[in-house]
Structure 1
């Protein structure tokens, strides 16, 4: 994994935390420019995640003799344990302390569908969401993994086109024929393809540049995000997200060797899964004590960061290694490098 991408992934995770802080405590009503950025623009962290996913999956499979079965099992070992753990924790909290999740209701069928990454209307009545609300993005991730696994059956040079066609069929033709959920009919799914394209360009050595160019790219991307436009999300936030990813990749020489940035990136998945639970607990405390949300915010940040650190090492990393051995997934054979 590129350290620069790890840093950007960590940044995206914490931007989402800020976005959900504004939603949890202020219902996304901003009272100053900083609050506005997180309340109105913080959701772009998800778009950055999707672009990074496409990049990482492409680079992780580009020169390896990897079967679809091996790929899916490795993705399951990496993604599922932590997601299931925090989903079950959410279920227990809803059952024992329902006032912490006043808008949520626990239903067995919905909980099971959530664990299986199947789209279902939330019992609370506010849309298609799993029990662990932030897990809606993982429904897209798992769909992308399945389609990319199919693309592994064709030569590497054709994978981008195969995944593009499969995404279009699954997300647009499928819902029209009632074969897949309307939930997937969102243009942000094509942000995964942006990441794949970035990976292809990176492997061609096209991201070597002086520092001023990627820094300019970051400034332009942030300006585009702040300004916004009345266009589809894949253009409004997807294109700036892709520009951010490309710019950070160009800055890789300045990130190499940074253990701290790598650690932040490693913990970002647990930050994403854990933070909503912490924020809801903070809201419960604020509701019972009347203290300012901004006084509870540092506590939420510390609890999320420390919890994510231990979650990565004790839950994610440990279960990933055990499941890989249990699944019998060996390290794939590295092939000679191919041009794309």
Structure 2
């Protein structure tokens, strides 16, 4: 994976962590400029993730003789085991220590729907969320994978348009007239995936190149746009600047290539994303029931999340991914279309 993308993955994951720190520790009450930034703009990390997802999926399948079924097996082997593990872990902890996870209400049917990435009303009553609530983004991701798997049946040059049409159909049938999946997919955030696919097409054609000063200018412009915001749909307010941020960082790839530190930060970002809510819930319990100062608890939780994510990536993500690939009969040496 591109090192520049790994850097963005790490920054996006920790931005979401900061946003949830403000939610769980401070009830979104900001006391300084940094806290206000995390409250108001921390959610933009998800938009960066979605743009990156479209980019990565396109590049991972370009010029590959990849069937839809094999593509889906590869994606499930990559994202599902860790998500299933933390979903089951949360269910077990919530059953054993309900006071620590007061926002969690367990229902078997909802747990199963969560495990299969099917949007459903959370029994705790706060909307269409899976048991591990950050998994709402993975419900979108799984939709993207399914639609992109269909697009693999057409030549590479037409995949963006096929996915766009399919996304529009899902968006339309999720609207008020049909209310598919409780309207979950009737959200303009799905456009951010298309932005990532478009960036992937540009990158493949060698069009994601720019002088360093121009790429840095693009990054500053994107961050300024996210910071100031506008009264427009999310895909424009945060999605479009996220796309500019991604393409600008990709243009700096020659200057970042070879950084093992950045690569590791990016590798651990998925575990950071899945793990952090469990750690922060435990931190909130310590604040509320043991009188721990929240500003003391923040660095403690950050260290636990970082170390836990490092171990999770190496033991859980990599280990289960390799075993599932062997089980599914998937290897990394996917032949190109030219070879066929």
Q: TM-score, normalised by structure 2?
A: 0.97
Contact 1:119 1:183 in 2 (8 A): yes
Match of 1:29 in 2: 29
Match of 1:240 in 2: 241
* SS of 2:184 mapped into structure 1: helix
Task: Tell me the CA shift for residue 293 of structure 1.
Answer: 0.9
Match of 1:270 in 2: 271
Correspondences of 1:207-226 after superposition (within 5 Å): 207-226=208-227
Task: Tell me the CA shift for residue 173 of structure 1.
Answer: 2.8
CA displacement 1:169-222 (0-9 Å, x = unmatched)? 012234433444401100001100000000111111112221111111111111
Match of 2:40 in 1: 40
More deviation in 73-82 or 96-105? 96-105
More deviation in 311-320 or 175-184? 175-184
Structure 1 distance, partners of 2:3, 2:213, is 19
Contact 2:104 2:124 in 1 (8 A): yes
Match of 1:295 in 2: 296
More deviation in 30-39 or 166-175? 166-175
Task: Tell me the CA shift for residue 289 of structure 1.
Answer: 2.1
More deviation in 251-260 or 284-293? 284-293
Match of 2:106 in 1: 106
In the alignment, structure 2 segments of 5+ residues that lack a partner are none
Match of 1:126 in 2: 126
Structure 2 distance, partners of 1:234, 1:40, is 16
Match of 1:280 in 2: 281
Contact 1:170 1:180 in 2 (8 A): no
Q: 1:291 to 1:178 in 2, by over 3 A?
A: closer
Contact 1:267 1:309 in 2 (8 A): yes
Contact 2:54 2:197 in 1 (8 A): yes
Match of 2:318 in 1: 317
Q: TM-score, normalised by structure 1?
A: 0.97
**1:327 pairs with 2:328:** yes
CA displacement 1:292-340 (0-9 Å, x = unmatched)? 2110111111110111011011111111111111111233212349xxx
CA displacement 1:16-66 (0-9 Å, x = unmatched)? 000000001111121211101001100000000000000000000011000
Match of 1:170 in 2: 170
Structure 1 distance, partners of 2:57, 2:153, is 15
Structure 2 distance, partners of 1:14, 1:84, is 21
Task: Tell me the CA shift for residue 122 of structure 1.
Answer: 0.7
Match of 1:60 in 2: 60
Match of 1:150 in 2: 150
Task: Tell me the CA shift for residue 291 of structure 1.
Answer: 2.2
CA displacement 1:212-267 (0-9 Å, x = unmatched)? 11111111111111111000000000011001101110110111000110000000
Contact 1:171 1:180 in 2 (8 A): no
Structure 2 distance, partners of 1:179, 1:285, is 40
Contact 2:65 2:336 in 1 (8 A): yes
**1:308 pairs with 2:309:** yes
In the alignment, structure 1 segments of 5+ residues that lack a partner are none
**1:20 pairs with 2:11:** no
Structure 1 distance, partners of 2:5, 2:289, is 40
Structure 2 distance, partners of 1:231, 1:93, is 40
